[in-house]
């Protein structure tokens, strides 16, 4: 079950964190993986790890917020079966403390970047007679999270795009679903804590972990396993759905 043999998968932001875990797992399950990354060194590192494990993977330097670059990259890759829109950036701030520049940057990467990749991927998915699109949303699209105004706005848009794409392309055998993680332990989280709380790293890590009712952060590999299911033929009857993977955050945090 959950094999991706002979499938071609594009994963944005596949150089680190959740994207890297997805890329490695998809390759392990038989997919040919194409990683789209702003940081080409990180992308190449993931590719090297996949190749050493016997898989097939390729790295592409691309800023997902630039439409022409995205279109060119997808045209170079050609026909695909799976797109995972994982690339994104974070931001801390309320409506009145978020600058226009920061708001535009979040929208450019987290919203326009998803649009750019979906619009470029649809013609390539058609060549294969359909396929699967998986968008990385967030629990921030479901519940109010303090000081995450722009990020929450962007992830709400991603969830809405998921529904729209699922509706528009269902007759073309293109499925579209999203995943909404709570806090996941990635190098980004460690860097955030080190930068903002250099003298309280252990206590802040514990605090962030305990914000999930299950008592810990998620693991990138756990999100990757959910993405694998949604990309596989075992999920062929699923489209237009969002899947929280949140340690009980949405339903039990009261």
Q: Is 125 in contact with 117 (CB distance < 8 Å)? A: no
Q: What is the pTM of this model?
A: 0.96
- Compute the distance between CA of residue 88 and CA of residue 37 in angstroms, rounded to an integer: 11
Query: What confidence tens digit (pLDDT) does each residue in 206-232 have?
Result: 999 999 999 999 999 999 999 999 999
Domain map of the chain by residue range? Answer: 8-182+220-248, 183-217
At residue 254, does pLDDT exceed 80? no
Q: Give CA 70 to chain center in angstroms.
A: 16
> Which residue of the set 151, 169, 197, 243 is catalytic?
151
Structure tokens at 233: 């033929």
Query: What confidence tens digit (pLDDT) does each residue in 138-157 have?
Result: 999 999 899 999 999 999 99
Q: Does domain 8-182+220-248 have CATH number 3.40.50.720?
A: yes
Q: Helical H runs in the chain?
A: 17-28, 40-52, 67-77, 100-106, 113-126, 149-169, 187-196, 201-210, 220-231, 249-252
Q: Which of 81, 77, 20, 78 is nearest to 53 (CA)?
A: 20
- Compute the distance between CA of residue 52 and CA of residue 54 in angstroms, rounded to an integer: 5
What share of the chain in percent tops pLDDT 70? Answer: 100
Check residue 184 and report its DSSP letter. B
Q: Is residue 151 annotated as a catalytic residue, yes or no?
A: yes
Query: What confidence tens digit (pLDDT) does each residue in 82-100 have?
Result: 999 999 999 999 999 999 9
């Amino acid at each position: 079950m959950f094999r991706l043999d002979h499938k071609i998968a594009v994963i944005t932001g596949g150089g680190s964190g959740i994207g890297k875990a997805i890329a490695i797992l998809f390759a392990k399950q038989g997919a040919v993986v194409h990683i789209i990354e702003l940081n080409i060194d990180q992308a190449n590192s993931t590719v090297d790890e996949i190749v050493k494990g016997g898989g097939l993977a390729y790295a592409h330097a691309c800023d997902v917020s630039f439409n022409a670059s995205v279109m060119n990259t997808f045209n170079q890759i050609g026909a695909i079966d799976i797109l995972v829109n994982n690339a994104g950036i974070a931001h801390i701030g309320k409506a009145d403390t978020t600058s226009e520049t920061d708001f535009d940057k979040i929208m450019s990467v987290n919203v326009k970047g998803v649009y750019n990749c979906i619009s470029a991927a649809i013609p390539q998915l058609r060549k294969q007679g359909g396929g699967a699109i998986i968008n990385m949303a967030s629990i921030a699209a479901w519940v109010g999270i303090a000081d995450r105004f722009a990020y929450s706005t962007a992830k709400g848009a991603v969830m809405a795009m998921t529904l729209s794409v699922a509706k528009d392309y269902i007759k073309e055998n293109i499925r579209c679903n999203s995943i909404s993680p709570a806090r996941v332990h990635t190098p980004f989280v460690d860097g955030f804590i080190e930068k903002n709380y250099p003298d309280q790293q252990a206590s802040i890590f514990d605090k962030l972990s305990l914000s999930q009712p299950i008592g810990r952060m998620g693991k990138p590999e756990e999100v990757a396993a959910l993405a694998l299911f949604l990309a596989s033929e075992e999920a062929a009857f699923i489209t237009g759905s969002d899947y929280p993977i949140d340690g009980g955050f949405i339903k039990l945090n009261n």
